[in-house]
Structure 1
């Protein structure tokens, strides 16, 4: 399993609308093979910054399966208008688990 970590900067004043759009988009992820989890967190110190964490079975499930699907386009249509800048995306793999 890998995690897609996306840092999203939202236009100030659009936070509530963005959160609603992200919630509406969850089914697009659920329909995608290999999608395992979806989590959206808001940064306390910077209220218009969010971290999206999506669990994927494989890297390709995200980079090929989702990114090349109609669901990705629908996701971007919902949330894209709220972006202040392009998302910064990286992929993580567990290296160590503590307590």
Structure 2
């Protein structure tokens, strides 16, 4: 499993509309082969900062399967105008995990 992580900085006064549109856009990302799940976290310390976490079966499911698809264009149309600056997206794989 690969974890995609992106810090999203939403333009001032657009947080509520962004959150509503994010729910709408979620139908697109979740339709891709290799998609396992995602969540959006809101930062408590920094206003208008969010953390997007997406789980993928493998890196190519995101970088090729999603990013080159028609549904990515819909995702982009709904969400990308909210970001300032545009987010840096990184991918991680688990080295160690402990849960109680």
TM-score range (shorter-chain normalised) is over 0.9
> How many residues are matched?
99
Distance 1:45 1:14 in 2: 17
1:78 aligns with 2:50: no
1:94 — aligned with what?
94
2:9 — aligned with what?
9
1:56 — aligned with what?
56
Distance 2:47 2:40 in 1: 13
In structure 2, stretches of 5+ residues that fail to align are none
Q: CA RMSD in A?
A: 0.7
CA-to-aligned-CA distance 1:54-74 (integer Å, 9 cap, x gap): 000000000000000011111
In structure 1, stretches of 5+ residues that fail to align are none
Deviation (angstroms), 1:8: 0.6
- The TM-score normalised by the length of structure 1 is 0.96
- The TM-score normalised by the length of structure 2 is 0.95
1:43 — aligned with what?
43
Q: Which runs of 4+ in 1 moved over 2 A?
A: none
